[in-house]
Structure 1
Amino acid sequence: MELLTICFLLFTLENFPLPFEIVVLSILGVVCFYGATASLTNCMFGKDLLVMGPPLLTDRPQEKPICIFISNLEQLRAAAPPISPLLWEFMENVYPGGIGCIIQKGEWLKKLGVGAGYSRVGTQDSIMIRVPDLTVLVHLIDMTGPLAITSANPSGEVDSTHHDMVISRLGHKLEGVLCDGESDEVVASTVVNCTKIDESGITIVREGCIPAGKVMQIFERVKNRVV
């Protein structure tokens, strides 16, 4: 992209030799043709038959990892992650609800059904797992299995609290919306880093609907019981 920008700038200033102009325009034409063909082909067949790079512009920044929602801890146990007794006990005490636990990522995650999306969820080393306490969502996850979840609003904007808000903001990009009335979850979830829970305890990454003090009280109670 930088090379094309420089070439177009030189072309605008009329300082671009004709042979180079032909070469650059030819390369640009090939790239555009391949991009259009790959996009159309992948869209028609529903899978990546022709390789394409990551989009230049996205609605969700890369620094905001996508998390995984499960309906209960049994779904997580079925994937057999290498989780310590302390972490299991902690999660059993904070789920379901407005707390998300960041744990170590690994090959076990593919057993949850992420497949080729493994590199697109979480970070390179970790993934946030949450068990919601919303009946309709839990029932959906029971039927579909674990789901990769993002917030239902454009990045940087306030959270959507009603399906009408989701439809008005994102309806043109969605195939369907599961309506369950107005959400009472008007504050983001509390995010807890549990990747070093056995060595140095937990850390609060983001304080949300569950106060940090309450989370730490739960952890201390669990730690004293397990240890």
Structure 2
Amino acid sequence: MALEFDCRDESQLLPGMRQARQAIARGALVVIPTDTVYGVAADAFNSIAVQRLLDAKGRTRQSPPPVLVAGVSMVRALVAELPKAAVDLIDKFWPGGLTLVLPAQPSLNWDLGETRGTVAVRMPDHRLALELIEETGPLAVSSANLTGEPAATACADAREMLGDRVDVYLDGGPAEIGTSSTILDLTGLVGRGEGTVRVLREGAIALERLRDVLGEILQLPEETTPADDTAGTVDEPGPSA
């Protein structure tokens, strides 16, 4: 039976975090609060746990989860290249509701699904999520809902949908933003002198704010062409989640 902890209660916070760490370590799933929406988390380097996450949501390997990190140092260990535009966005919007899709470090021994050599990364602006990531390492985190259902903005919503497919639920109260993150594809900036940044999903960070940082290299949704389906490779929570 799944365990649930109200982390707003100090007497439940420490045992809840301990149970969450232990669940991640054994390849189980944990629902965590983030600044955007609630996410369901798994060890990013445990392929069985990641598949369990996808199965719990009713998703296929064609929709790999993003990875939540606790800082830029984690990002640099996960991606093959961090272009200047990515650094500028991180400086402006992290921690926060912005997910960046970048080429993954090819030497990493992980399997998030059909990522086409990319990874979607985000640093959430939530104390509990960041503390857990600091202790466990990067987490694969997808929105804590069944496919086709609204993202959970409260722990009770997540538990109603996911039930005992998740081992531990950490209740941090209502999600502060309540809207999934904005997702940008920066792979067009890697390995070339010039390129564009594609908007894969509009969300918590307004496009006008992104334009202030990126200028004309930001390719707005109405400007996009069906060249590839990178937009279908991420399902972010927040994940994350």
TM-score category, normalised to shorter length: 0.5 to 0.7
Give the equivalent residue in structure 2 for 1:154: 146
- The answer to whether the 8 A contact 1:193-1:202 is kept is yes
Q: 1:209 to 1:80 in 2, by over 3 A?
A: closer
More strand by share: 2
- The answer to whether the 8 A contact 2:78-2:105 is kept is no
- The answer to whether the 8 A contact 1:69-1:148 is kept is yes
Kindly indicate whether residue 209 of structure 2 is the aligned counterpart of residue 214 of structure 1.
yes
Give the equivalent residue in structure 2 for 1:104: 103
Partner secondary structure for residue 140 of structure 1: helix
Give the equivalent residue in structure 1 for 2:194: 199
Q: 1:60 to 1:93 in 2, by over 3 A?
A: same
More helix by share: 1
**Aligned-partner Cα distance in 2 for 1:143–1:121:** 24
Partner secondary structure for residue 184 of structure 2: strand
Q: Deviations over 1:42-74 (max 9, x none)?
A: xxxxx99xxxxxx99970144422111001112
Q: Structure 2: which 5+ residue stretches go unaligned?
A: 1-45, 48-53, 219-241
Kindly indicate whether residue 71 of structure 2 is the aligned counterpart of residue 76 of structure 1.
no
Partner secondary structure for residue 129 of structure 1: strand
The root-mean-square deviation of aligned C-alpha atoms, in Å, is: 2.9
- The answer to whether the 8 A contact 1:68-1:127 is kept is yes
Give the equivalent residue in structure 2 for 1:85: 84
Aligned positions of 1:158-177 closer than 5 A: 158-177=150-169
How many residue pairs get aligned? The number is 164
Give the equivalent residue in structure 2 for 1:186: 178
Q: Deviations over 1:121-150 (max 9, x none)?
A: 461221111011011101111111110111
Q: Structure 1: which 5+ residue stretches go unaligned?
A: 1-46, 49-54
Give the equivalent residue in structure 1 for 2:135: 143
Give the equivalent residue in structure 2 for 1:6: none
TM-superposed CA distance for 1:101, in Å, is: 0.4
- Identity between Structure 1 and Structure 2 (%): 22
**Aligned-partner Cα distance in 1 for 2:121–2:96:** 11
